[in-house]
């Protein structure tokens, strides 16, 4: 069974946050539909607020701390990304953009992306098409046609999955699964894992 690695980026600031709630719903639907399609899904959820200090330090020092480096490697090695940001000043959050800025832009080339956003009013849903989509287009990703916005009216509806939000989530997840089906752009391998042992040994002894 082929594996599909998904990294979920949640840029919510609160605990809990509506961005994390939406990210979890999207991840659950993608995971279920990938399984139904015959794939083995591996999903990692990343709370960017937990990396805020590391991200800021990376800008100042040019060095990614261990946890941030681990997350960056996970993004590079993933097949697909679910990215959810709250809306601030008619755009994605500064935390979300800062994390994107510490990535190697080429590392997202060809990756499948599903976008989501949360806000206090439906007027903010335009951020998906006028801010997030251009960003991921610049990074040469493959995006789902459907992106998902969730406002205050979308929460607290326990109707067994038949809410308008659930329908949007499942539709977007289905499109991501379609992008993840078949041959995929090659993941960026961990250089320490991909090099033969003899080559690693030669590199170590040559550096003495």
| Local structure of 169: helix, strand or coil | helix
Predicted pLDDT of residue 155: 81
Q: What is the pLDDT of residues 153-189, one digit of tens each?
A: 888 765 455 689 999 999 999 999 999 998 777 665 5
Average pLDDT, the chain: 89
- Domain holding 168, by residue range, is 3-206
- Single pTM value for the model: 0.86
CATH number at residue 113: 3.40.50.360
Q: How many domains does the chain have?
A: 1
DSSP string, 34-95: HHHTT-EEEEEEEEGGGGHHHHHHHHHHS---HHHHHHHHHHHT-SEEEEEEEEETTEE-HH
Residue 88 has pLDDT above 60, yes or no: yes
Judge if the upstream peptide bond of residue 26 is cis by omega within 30 degrees of 0: no
Residue 191 has pLDDT above 60, yes or no: no
């Amino acid at each position: 069974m082929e594996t599909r690695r998904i990294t979920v980026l949640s840029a919510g600031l609160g605990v809990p946050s509506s961005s994390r709630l939406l990210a979890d719903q999207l991840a659950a639907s993608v995971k279920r539909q990938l399984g139904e399609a015959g794939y083995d899904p591996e999903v990692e959820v990343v709370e960017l607020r937990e990396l805020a200090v590391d991200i800021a330090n990376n800008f100042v020092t040019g060095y990614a701390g261990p946890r941030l480096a681990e997350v960056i490697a996970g993004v590079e090695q993933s097949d697909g990304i679910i990215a959810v940001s709250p809306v601030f000043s008619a755009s994605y959050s500064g935390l979300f953009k800062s994390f994107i800025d510490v990535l190697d832009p080429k590392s997202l080339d060809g990756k499948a992306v599903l976008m989501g956003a949360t806000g206090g009013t439906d007027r903010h849903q335009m951020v998906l098409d006028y801010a997030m989509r251009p960003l991921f287009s610049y990074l040469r990703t493959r995006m789902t046609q459907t992106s998902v916005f969730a406002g205050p009216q979308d929460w607290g509806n326990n109707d067994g999955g038949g809410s308008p939000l659930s329908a949007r989530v499942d539709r977007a997840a289905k499109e991501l699964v379609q992008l993840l089906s078949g041959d995929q752009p090659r993941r960026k391998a961990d250089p320490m894992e991909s090099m033969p042992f003899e080559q690693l040994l030669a590199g170590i002894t040559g550096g003495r």
